[in-house]
Structure 1
Amino acid sequence: MENNNAENKMPTLEVEQSSDIDKLINDDIETLDSDEIIEEDGRSGFIKLPHGLALTVEETYPITASEVSKTIILIGPFDSGKTTIETTIYQLFQRKPFAGLYFAGSQSLFGYEERSFYTRLESKKETATTPRTSRSVTEIFLHLKLYDSKTKIKTNYLFGDISGEEIYSHLGNVETISEKMAYLKSVDSYVFILNGKQLADKNKRNGEIDQAYNMARTIFDAKLYSSSTKVQVLISKYDILKKNNDANLEAAIDKRIQCIVDLLKKYVSEVTVHRVAAMPEPGVLEVGYGLEELLSAWNKPHTGNQVVESYITDYKLNSEFNKLIYKM
């Protein structure tokens, strides 16, 4: 009988080439339809995704250098509500557009999520909290890109919080803070936070206000600002003061806060006072109370004369390269 070699022949297995295996296990994501293809390691068709965590100062540079950006620095003592304000703004955009702005992206989604966890039901905590930011942490910036429906402009917002302890470590020595925190010179807005819980306590009220005054003076005496810098003096946890329903108490607090405003107006032209309750006690105020007004203040164009404009007028810098130097 004649053997059928075709039937008895063992099937051959196709061995994947090493290049195919490398492609399978590579962490990059191929984006064939992307308009923005980046050449990396000799390969085309791949883009590098952001790590999603909070950003360092250095990691903010590519954002601020290439797109419209605003840097917001929140300054206050431990438990004053800095991180809660940042994360509540992020969470409000998960409901709907906020303050006339639309969520347009973020390079620090993981950073927001890990800070927001303890404000949510799945954390099973009785009250909303946020983890404390350590002084040693260098990843301090959270990033939001927002689209303004009126101006049709996308703006990157970089929110950084600095502990009161960090500022106090430089009290009486403006040279050290100007050296170690030189990046603050390009800040668009400073937010000095007074804890409403402390203000409601007559034994702690004056200390809280004096602390904010000294922090503001330290930063501005160190000349870490420009003519376009805006300042917001903010009372956080306002629901605690509101619950007292004491008009005389609020009037007394306003009078003391005016001392901080008067100090700051010696340096910058735009200083506003805000009352905020990011995560208030149930039934007192709505979640995010005062944040819409605060975000609108950050989004508002500066009304004073810009430093860049004065340089261009005085020195007639017609070159776009020279203009960029002064803008930076």
Structure 2
Amino acid sequence: MSAMEEEDEAPAIQCSNLECKIASGGRCLEGFSEVTACPQYGKAVPIVPAAAPTGALSARQGVRLPHAEALSISEATNLLGKGPCNVISLVGPFDSGKTSLIAGMYDLLQRGPVGGYAFAGSSTMHSFERACHDSRRESERGEAHMERTERGEVLFFHVDLVDEERDAKRSALFGNRAGEEYTLVQDELDRAKSYPELKRSDVLTVLVDGAKLLDAGERHQVRSQVRMTLRAFVEVGVAPPWQRLALVLTKLDAIRRDDAARDGALRHFETLVANVRLEYATKFAQVQDFKVAASPKTTNAHRGEGMAELLRYWMANPCRNVPSAIAKETVPAERAFGRLLPIAARTV
């Protein structure tokens, strides 16, 4: 064996602490001015060569876990066949409080039972947590905020609940669609036919923005939007007679904060409810009103006020207990050319 080969195999002489830089001209990591005084210096550290790969690693196929995002129509339909489930549609214009209502309900359930129902699981936890995050202290926001719903297909939040009195589990699906799309129905009635969550809903929940009722100039517009939306749903047949209707006044804390306009706003809501009952009592199985503060931004209402009553209404046994698919219907073409029948379908 040559001298060079012997030198290559000899162990390196350095500090046995691999983090010390003394061997490369640095200072002693232990702080000794005389390196020979350090008990780690001068000890042999063998150089271990990297092991050569023995062969290609065998590919292992993992298990694909289910996602935890909001459900599509097909995913929601599959869930309907797995057990008792109530479908709730939340209808209201932009910023009326739909996402706040869903997030507020979920947040309350994390603290304990609500309205006699206890949280028993969810397949959309990520979407729930994302919706709640900006209203929590951890977000470090100066003011509570709710992420707006993007336009597009309806998505469903899912939660399993246990009735404490009967010890029975029932699921709930909350259909969430951008408010702008529901507003378009007022001028284009047939558009409602392309919203599959409406016809399948056990409870149609129409939101009334309490903050807008404080403005005398906007009250008429709010009342008109609610009545025109309901009229469109009934006329095109997406509100079957077995369906229950919930009229929900949101942002109760904002109403109480304004002493001057508070009484007028509450009276206007009560008048709206009376008119809806008079006009649509025979069109729905039941009409009920609620006043809630799901995620209040002030101390004028406690968090989740009114949500227990609303949750009990949502989770009551539906008038139609047979699960059915959430059928997706095609949207009629806007241009006349697009509505022409294909040549093969025409009759001579």
Tell me the TM-score normalised to structure 1 length. Answer: 0.76
Query: Is 1:241 matched with 2:278?
Result: no
CA apart distance, 1:154: 1.1
Query: Is 1:71 matched with 2:87?
Result: yes
Give, in whole Å, the separation in 1 of the partners of 2:84 and 2:162.
Answer: 11
Residues 302-321 of structure 1: matches in 2 within 5 Å? 302=318, 306=320
CA separation of 1:253/1:103 partners in 2, compared to 1, >3 Å: closer, same or farther?
closer
CA apart distance, 1:253: 3.1
Query: Is 1:175 matched with 2:190?
Result: yes
Identity of aligned residues (%): 25
Is the 2:154–2:176 Cα contact (8 Å) retained in structure 1? Answer: no
Give, in whole Å, the separation in 2 of the partners of 1:77 and 1:116.
Answer: 20
Give, in whole Å, the separation in 1 of the partners of 2:179 and 2:52.
Answer: 66
**Which one has a bigger Cα radius of gyration?**
2
Query: Is 1:258 matched with 2:278?
Result: no
| Displaced runs of 4 or more, over 6 A | none
Computed over aligned residues only, the root mean square deviation of the Cα atoms, in angstroms, reads: 2.6
Query: In structure 2, what residue type is equivalent to 1:193?
Result: L
Question: What's 1:204 paired with?
Answer: 218
Question: What's 2:283 paired with?
Answer: 267
Local SS of the residue matching 2:278: helix
Tell me the TM-score normalised to structure 2 length. Answer: 0.72
CA separation of 1:104/1:263 partners in 2, compared to 1, >3 Å: closer, same or farther?
same
Query: Is 1:120 matched with 2:130?
Result: no
Query: Is 1:278 matched with 2:294?
Result: yes
**Alignment counterpart, residue 206 of structure 2, candidates 192, 216, 236:** 192
Give, in whole Å, the separation in 2 of the partners of 1:168 and 1:13.
Answer: 66
CA apart distance, 1:171: 3.1
**Alignment counterpart, residue 59 of structure 2, candidates 12, 22, 44:** 22
Local SS of the residue matching 2:81: helix
Question: What's 2:232 paired with?
Answer: 218
Query: In structure 2, what residue type is equivalent to 1:53?
Result: E
Question: Which structure is higher in RCO with an 8 Å CA cutoff and minimum separation 6?
Answer: 2
Query: In structure 1, what residue type is equivalent to 2:157?
Result: L
Query: Is 1:151 matched with 2:166?
Result: yes
**Structure 2 gaps, min length 5:** 1-50, 328-348
Query: In structure 1, what residue type is equivalent to 2:238?
Result: L
Give, in whole Å, the separation in 2 of the partners of 1:307 and 1:93.
Answer: 25
Query: In structure 1, what residue type is equivalent to 2:314?
Result: W
Is the 2:121–2:161 Cα contact (8 Å) retained in structure 1? Answer: yes
**Structure 1 gaps, min length 5:** 1-11, 29-47, 309-323
Is the 2:253–2:299 Cα contact (8 Å) retained in structure 1? Answer: no
CA separation of 1:280/1:307 partners in 2, compared to 1, >3 Å: closer, same or farther?
closer
CA separation of 1:114/1:307 partners in 2, compared to 1, >3 Å: closer, same or farther?
closer
Give, in whole Å, the separation in 1 of the partners of 2:96 and 2:103.
Answer: 14
CA separation of 1:163/1:13 partners in 2, compared to 1, >3 Å: closer, same or farther?
closer
Aligned residues: 275
